[in-house]
Amino acid sequence: MRPLDPLSSIKMKLGAVIVAAVAVTVLVVSVGTGAGASPVVSALAAGALSLGLVQLLAHGMTSPLREMAAAAKAMARGDYGRRVTASSHDEVGELARAFNAMATQLAEVDRVRRELVANVSHELRTPITSLHAVLENLVDGVEPADPETLRTMLRQVERLGALVAQLLDLSRLESGAVPLQRRSFELRPLLDDAAGETRLRTTDVRVAVSVDPVGATADGDPARVHQVVSNLLDNAVRHSPAGGTVELRATRSRAGVTIEVSDEGPGISEEEKSMVFERFYRSDSARSSKDGGAGLGLAIARWIVDLHGGDIRVEARQPHGCRMVVVLPVVKA
């Protein structure tokens, strides 16, 4: 029972407690005197009654504090499910509400951390398992150490290396350890570069670059923007049908620069549109195919775009395919 909950500050509550205690004392003493009891007896009775009243009223004031102490101890043991009763309107109630909000956030952080560890372990285990199997065969003499076997092993090691590099990059981006090296740069050379690198990795998909106006510039960290474009081109090429064309287009407007990467592949379904930017998210078809990454490319791209104060989104393309749109705002000097 918390009769003082409606009062909005500790000061008012203390005042109420004192007034109640004084009122009880006066009442008991005057009733006692009227009934002919000795002053000592009525004073003792008044003292006992007002102490009981104070105990009753103050209990509700301090119980949230005790609850918080217990919940904090539980949290230290890793139990984030506890919440405290935050029904009072005073400073303690405010503290209890802030405490509950903090507990909710900590629980979410804990969930994300667990999920991350599970995902990372899973992604690392796959190449390690296959390396292990091949190495075991080599050691047992079941398989000869021919160049083809060694190349397979090299590919697995490269996959491991790339995954670890991506994870490291993502954690640096998230912690803000590497600040952006912002400057104004010309778009055409950067996009041509990224397209050239992508062409080296594919033979049957065309990559077409266009920039409007021709000498358009953007504000940002060119190395990071290059990384975004490379990740998007990599996905577009991987999902393109043989003989398809991937379009890389940049347009400059007053508000900023829009970079679009369009492909003629299967596209991304409406339900998956927001999920593809999550760490480790891959569609089922991407999960089952052998090539492709661990689902970190778009998560990294979104972080970079966010750091630039920009926006990245997926659009559907007619009749099929997807268009990834990145908008980088102009930085006002």
Ligand X SMILES: Nc1ncnc2c1ncn2[C@@H]1O[C@H](COP(=O)(O)OP(=O)(O)O)[C@@H](O)[C@H]1O
Q: Taking CB under 6 A as the rule, does residue 159 contact ligand X? A: no
Instruction: Give the per-residue contact string, 314-333, with ligand X (x = CB under 6 A; - = no).
Output: --------x-----------
Q: Verify binding: residue 239, ligand X, rule CB under 6 A.
A: yes
**Per CB under 5 A, 297 contacts Mg ion:** yes
Q: Does 235 bind ligand X (CB under 6 A)?
A: yes
Residue 192 or 272: the one with the smaller Cβ distance to ligand X is: 272
Ramachandran class of 45: left when φ > 0, alpha when ψ lies in -120 to 50, beta otherwise: alpha
Q: How many residues bind ligand X (CB under 6 A)?
A: 23
Other Cβ atoms less than 10 A from the Cβ of 231: the count is 23
Count of all residues that appear for the chain in the document: 333
Q: Give the CA count within 13 Å in the CB-facing half-sphere of 7.
A: 16
Strand spans (E) along the chain:
183-186, 206-212, 217-220, 245-252, 256-262, 311-316, 322-329
Residue 72 Cβ, how far from Mg ion at the closest point, in Å?
A: 42
- Give the nearer residue to Mg ion in terms of CB position, either 61 or 246: 246
Instruction: Please choose, from the candidates 97, 94, 99, the residue with its C-alpha nearest in 3D space to the C-alpha of residue 80.
Output: 99
* DSSP labels, 23-85: HHHHHHHHHHHHTT--HHHHHHHHHHHHHHHHHHHHHHHHHHHHHHHHHHHHHHTT-------
Asked whether position 282 contacts ligand X by CB under 6 A, the answer is: yes
- Pick one of 25, 235, 258, 262: the residue that binds Mg ion (CB under 5 A): 235
Which stretch in 88-96, 170-178, 185-193, 261-269 sits in contact with ligand X by CB under 6 A? 261-269
- The answer for residues whose C-beta is within 8 angstroms of residue 233's C-beta and 6 or more apart is 194, 195, 198, 207, 246, 248, 261
Return the bridge partners of 185, or none.
218
Out of ligand X, Mg ion, none, what residue 239 binds, judged by CB under 5 to 8 A for its kind, is ligand X
Kindly indicate which of the ranges 65-73, 89-97, 235-243, 283-291 contains the residues binding Mg ion, using the contact rule CB under 5 A: 235-243
Please pick, from the candidates 263, 264, 304, 308, the single residue that binds ligand X as defined by CB under 6 A: 263
Q: Considering the rule CB under 6 A, would residue 99 count as an interface residue with ligand X?
A: no
Instruction: By CB under 5 A, tell whether 198 contacts Mg ion.
Output: no
| Nearer to Mg ion (CB atom), residue 235 or residue 262 | 235
The yes or no reply on residue 265 touching Mg ion (CB under 5 A) is: no
CB of 312 to ligand X, least distance (A): 11
**Among ligand X, Mg ion, none, what does residue 262 contact (CB within 5–8 Å per kind)?**
none
Task: List strands edge to edge, sheet with 311-316.
Answer: 206-212, 245-252, 256-262, 322-329, 311-316
Spatial distance between the Cα atoms of 295 and 167, rounded to a whole number of angstroms: 11
Which listed residue (292, 316, 317, 329) binds ligand X by CB under 6 A? 292
8 A C-beta contact, residue 89 and residue 7: yes
Name which of Mg ion, ligand X, none residue 218 binds, using a CB cut-off of 5 to 8 Å depending on partner kind. Answer: none
DSSP annotation string for 179-202: ----EEEEHHHHHHHHHHHHHHT-
Among 125, 250, 246, 243, CA closest to 186:
250
Q: How many CA atoms lie within 13 Å of 299's alpha carbon, on the beta-carbon side?
A: 20
Binding site partner of 167, from Mg ion, ligand X, none, Cβ cut-off 5-8 A by kind: none
* Binder among 32, 127, 256, 265 for ligand X (CB under 6 A): 265
Q: How far is the CB of 99 from ligand X (least distance, A)?
A: 37
Pairing mode of beta strands 245-252, 206-212: parallel
- Our CB check for Mg ion shows the closer of 230 and 245 to be 230
Provide the binding-site residues for ligand X, judged by CB under 6 A.
231, 235-236, 239, 263, 265-268, 276, 281-283, 286, 292-299, 322
Provide the binding-site residues for Mg ion, judged by CB under 5 A.
235, 293, 297
